[in-house]
Structure 1
Amino acid sequence: MSKTAPQIPLPFLKLRKRDAEPLFLQLYGQIKQAIFSGQLKEGERLPATRALAAELEISRNSVFQAFEQLILEGFLEGRKGDGTYVCAKIGIVPARTPKVEETPGTEEYIPDFSIEPLLPFQSSIPSFAHFPFKTWAGIAADVYRNIHSLHLGYGDTQGYAPLRNELADYLRINRSIICSPEQILIVSGSRQAINLSAQLLIKKGDQCWMEDPGYRGASMAIERWGGRVCPVPLTQYGLDIDHAIKTYPAATFAYVTPSHQYPMGGTLPLAERLKLLQWAAKQKMWIVEDDYDSEFRYNGRPVPALKGLDDAGQVIYTGTFSKVLFPALRLGYMVLPTLEMARRFRMLKTTIDRENPVIDQAIITRFMREGHFARHLRKMRILYKKLQDELTALIGKHLHPWLEVEPGDSGMHITGWLKKDMLAADVEKAAGKQGLILQPVDDFSIKYGHPKGLMFGFTGYPVEDMEKAVLQLKQILINLQP
């Protein structure tokens, strides 16, 4: 009996025969994307080239070209006399990734991330390959061994007290924020923090300053809870405070990312921070400071948080573990100006999800207390600076006729600007067909558009894929240019 696997149908293939893009490239891109998305799985046998050509009503040569390119890139393999198969282990972090030592003599293992392919240029994705998983797993195992020592009933909505103690020390030393553990509220990431703030502090019709372009999760939260989003353009440093004061003087709420503006990357200078705080104190305006990735600063001294300068108690500070550890944790934190406000936020959170999982909080507490958190951040700052430099150099070498980009002082992405007569949305669409994830800056715009801006993440995918991805993008830009 033959052991040949049955051919699988490919109903998702939709070729646009009147499109300017060659049919073999369309076929190549759609099969590649299906492999990345999991529609096609390891070991599955594709239809014969003759049968697929007949089904799609295209030339067999187009199918040959697409298959040959996918075989060349390692997505498919041809087995003599047996057909064409999807290759194994697409999207897995390579086993050859260098080992990382957390403490002398402790080798870290690299987990299998085959379920979630790490695609070039995705932004805000940390380097899983360099996370100290063995250390984390050891702490987790110890926490579970001693799980009886934790409070396993309905706990404090405000969060695990030992974690809040660690965070108070961390924020004092690293962000110049002096607060008590009682002012800290553990939340399910920055989205929940922003929504809690909007729900509690915004009245229907209130004017709310919003960076434009800026984080869409914030503008959606403002609108959801009845606020009026007031888009404020940016200077090279961040929020244009003079424009905001002149245009929307009655605003009662502001959302800002002063340490690393999202997505443009500016850092608000001290003079502008003080101007913002003075206006907020005078007008009794609430400020939500989203400090989403300030840990990754590569040039100059660390910038103190806006909250650390706030004498009037108008700033609500939010931080997250998603960027510095891994997004699946879904844990963040808030620092509230007063104990009374912390109580109000705690009561509101109680009506939503009661509390965050205490076991995850206990693991993070140990991870911080034993020094692993600080060591991990130091290593990632060095690694991410190197990756940013390499991507900037590659773009300068291969893409300079089409794209201009400069390294940033901090963060997990850089912004590139198209020089030619082409739009970022068109580049995003074409790149997506090749398995590259680019995001137009205009995705974050409300009123002030930036149609030629593209975000390039550089932290979440293997370094060996970087030059290959840049060369792929080069061909895409050549094809798109007028």
Structure 2
Amino acid sequence: MAKRKSGALLTRIVIDRSSRAPLFRQIEDQLRGAILAGSLSGGTRLPASRALSVELGVSRQTVVQVLESLAAEGFLEMRRGSGTFVATTIPQHVPQRVPSTVAPGMPGNAAPRVSLLGSRFGAAEVDFVSRENRLFLPNSPAYDQFPFALWQKYVNRQARQAYRGNMGYGDPAGHAPLRQAIADYLALHRSDACDPDQIVITPGGHAAFMVAALMLTDPGDGLLFEDPGPLIARNLFESLGRKLVHVPIDDEGMDFEATVARGGGERLAFVMPSRQHPLGRTMSLARRLRLLDWANANEAWILEDDYDSEFRYTGRPLPSIRSIDRSGRVIYVGTFSKALFPALRLGYLVLPPALVGMFRNAIALMLRSVPLAAQMALAGFIADGHFASHLRRMRELYAERRQAFLVAAARSGAGLFEVDMPDSGMNVIAWLQEGRNDRDLAQRAVEAGVHAYPLGEYGAQPLPRPGLLLGFTGVAPHQLGPGLEALARVLACTG
């Protein structure tokens, strides 16, 4: 009579020999999963390694490697002279892992226990939009005109110059040559001199907003916010538990005086004075000075987002609020996402001296440091004058595309929309007829190959008129006519 194999036969283990995963890893993961799922309970005896190797069609060495690895993890017990057993410390019913395809909180699953901040971030509306082949997508640079070959030289240079000092953690405040290059650029091109030690590098502009909100306000504090205003920034501040006080926009920018006269005790004002998003308005000098007076009198702060201010088509770029601040109440935020490309993920803060240490420590504790390689490449690109040259070329190019857009829009959009073209920036507003649903029309436009943002999504309060936000800087000349005609067809067919 043949000797009977002892132990579990593990018929559920399936080996995929076409997989790139090693055989021992496939067996190990499935055996561990069977134990965690309760299919193999504590004390269950496994077949001998020879029997298992035959059953699974693998070498005995592979099976021994799996068993020894799981024993080291505590899932198995290897008893000399008796065999291999599922560890007796494994309970009969181990909580199963939620499958990766099932999101916590979906019907049939209990919502996970998280922090208040976690629940706010989980509920935030975050819509990722791929920037590839998106006609009229707002805020898109002219990728087709970016000097990739030149930029690659700087990326390669920093790689060749890599040494031990450049392969560790960087200074939390940022790469010193980059901070110097930014300070030189601001002094020369923005009439805003600062010490390089006042600059802290961040992974993009929104990281700068987050750090500033955390450092300067507490949950529940009031924050002046332009209405309509940037949607992602609004969601960020609300998710952090800040109380947004929505302030209307007029031809002089944020009309804050009636709001602050009520004495709400707001701690921070988030403003985009050079080119407000999405309306494109510019804050007047008189209002900038009064905002500074308010901040100084109330020990409040101004978070200045210098949003794509480099692209001004009538005269020089306007000076920042920080450049006229004499009391150290302005935190200036700059970014290279629009001037170069968003994937670079580099931004910066220019801080009053009293805040530098705090912000530097915050970056160190929350982010440790910003990746050094990109900082090194950008520092050389700016220092050698290529950043300023690129901006000059893009201003000329965008001015041409801006004019071409106006001509094409007048031809295609007559009677369907009115173009509001600000003096600066990368976008235009197509104002629609009263009663039109800009959210619905934006969705229909996307289906037709035109990516427009509905203005209604930017406002906390209903806007007096519907409209669509369209980008023109990333649109090649041959795309303008067909794209605007496609938009016109959408508007005409849904009238």
TM-score after normalising by structure 1: 0.74
Of 207, 218, 225, 1:192 maps to: 207
Moved more, 328-337 or 455-464: 455-464
**Alignment equivalent of 1:379, drawn from 389, 393, 406:** 393
Q: Which position in structure 2 is the counterpart of 1:425? A: 439
Cα shift at 1:301 = 2.8
Name the CA distance, whole Å, in 2 between partners of 1:392 and 1:237. 24
Spell out the pairing of 1:287-326 with structure 2 (5 A cutoff): 287-326=302-341
SS of 2:253's partner is coil
Is it true that 1:349 corresponds to 2:363 in the alignment? yes
Shift of 1:306: 0.6
Please tell me whether residue 440 in structure 1 is matched to residue 448 in structure 2. Answer: no
Question: Contact conserved, 1:392 with 1:406, CA < 8 A, in 2?
Answer: no
Counterpart-to-counterpart distance in 1, 2:210 and 2:434: 40
Question: Structure 1 residues 150 and 379, CA, compared in 2 at 3 Å: closer, same or farther?
Answer: farther
1:264 maps to which of 265, 279, 282 = 279
The match for 2:416 among 388, 394, 402 is: 402
* 1:95 paired residue number: none
Deviations 1:340-361 (A, max 9, x none): 4111011111122111111111
Shift of residue 442, structure 1, vs aligned partner: 1.4
Instruction: Tell me if structure 2 keeps the 8 A contact 1:119–1:461.
Output: no
Structure 1 430/248 Cα, relative in aligned 2: closer, same or farther at 3 Å?
farther
Structure 1 residues 464, 377: CA separation in 2 closer, same or farther (over 3 Å shift)? same
Q: Is the 8 A contact 2:183 2:195 kept in 1?
A: yes
Q: Is the 8 A contact 1:230 1:248 kept in 2?
A: no
Report deviation, 1:248.
Answer: 5.1
Partner residue in 2 for 1:226: 241
* Structure 1 SS opposite 2:140: coil
Partner amino acid, structure 2, of 1:422: R
Q: CA deviation at 1:451?
A: 5.0
| Aligned residue number for residue 13 of structure 1 | none
- Please give the per-residue CA displacement for 1:376-421, whole angstroms capped at 9, x wherever unaligned: 0000001111111111221111212011113221101011211254
SS at match of 1:294: coil
- Unpaired stretches in structure 2, ≥5 consecutive residues: 1-129
The answer as to whether partners of 2:131 and 2:137 remain within 8 angstroms in 1 is: no
Which of 174, 185, 208 aligns to 1:170? It is: 185
Match of 1:456 among 470, 485, 495: 470
Gaps of 5+ in 1: 1-114
Q: CA RMSD in A?
A: 1.5
Partner of 1:317, secondary structure, is: strand
2:377 pairs, out of 356, 363, 375, with 363
Sequence identity (%): 37
Q: Which moved more, 1:325-334 or 1:389-398?
A: 389-398
User: Are residues 145 and 254 of structure 1, via their aligned partners in 2, closer, same or farther at CA, if it must alter by over 3 Å?
Assistant: same
Matching of residue 212 in structure 1 with residue 227 in structure 2: yes
Residues 61-80 of structure 1 mapped to structure 2, 5 A cutoff: none
C-alpha separation in 1, matches of 2:487 and 2:150: 37
Counterpart contact for 2:199–2:348, Cα < 8 Å: yes
1:479 counterpart residue number: 493
Please give the secondary structure, in 2, of the residue aligned with 1:178: coil
**Segments of 4+ in structure 1 off by > 3 A?**
none
**Letter aligned with residue 357 of structure 1:** P
Rg larger for? 2
What secondary structure sits across from 1:351 in the alignment? helix
The letter of the residue matching 2:340 is L
The 1:247/1:222 distance shift into structure 2, 3 A limit, reads farther
2:104 matched to which residue of 1?
Answer: none
Give the equivalent residue in structure 2 for 1:335: 350
Partners of 1:324 and 1:334 in 2: CA distance: 16
Q: 1:251 — aligned with what? A: 266
Secondary structure (helix, strand or coil) at the match of 1:254 reads strand
Does residue 118 of the first structure (1) align with residue 133 of the second (2)?
yes
Show the counterpart of 2:405: 391
Name the SS for the 2:348 alignment partner.
strand
**CA distance in structure 2 between the aligned counterparts of 1:399 and 1:390, rounded to whole angstroms:** 14
The code of the aligned residue for 2:195 comes to S
Instruction: Give the AA of the match of 1:329.
Output: L
Task: Tell me the TM-score normalized by structure 2.
Answer: 0.72
Q: Distance in 2 between matches of 1:300 and 1:244?
A: 32
8 Å contact kept, 2:433–2:465? no
- 1:200 deviation in Å? 1.1
- Which of 109, 130, 136 is the aligned partner of 2:145? 130
Equivalent pair of 1:121/1:457 in contact (CA under 8 Å): yes
What's the counterpart of residue 70 of structure 2?
none
Report the Cα distance in structure 1 between the residues aligned to 2:230 and 2:165, rounded to whole angstroms: 37
**2:255 matched to 1:240?**
yes
Could you tell me how far apart the structure 1 residues matched to 2:135 and 2:263 are? 40
CA contact (8 A) 1:232 1:243 kept: no
Query: Alignment partner for residue 299 of structure 2, among 265, 278, 284?
Result: 284
Give 1:219 deviation, angstroms. Answer: 2.2
Residues paired across the two proteins, number: 366
SS state at 2:368 partner: coil
Deviation per CA, 1:87-140, whole angstroms, max 9, x where unpaired? xxxxxxxxxxxxxxxxxxxxxxxxxxxx95322110111111111111111122
Which SS does the other structure have where 1:456 is aligned?
strand
Distance 1:299 1:283 in 2: 35
Q: Output one character per residue of 1:184-219: Cα deviation in whole Å (capped at 9) or x when no partner.
A: 000011110000011111123211100001012322
Q: CA deviation at 1:450?
A: 4.8
CA distance in 2, matches of 1:129, 1:164: 28
Q: Is the CA contact 1:212–1:448 (under 8 Å) kept in the aligned structure 2?
A: no
Task: Check conservation: 1:233, 1:448, Cα contact below 8 A.
Answer: no
The one-letter code sitting in structure 2 at the alignment partner of 1:372 is H
CA drift of 1:329 comes to 0.5
Tell me whether 350-359 or 290-299 shows the greater mean CA deviation. Answer: 350-359
Matches of 1:426 and 1:220, distance apart in 2:
22
Q: Is the 8 A contact 2:178 2:378 kept in 1?
A: yes
Match of 1:203?
218
SS in 1 for 2:366: coil
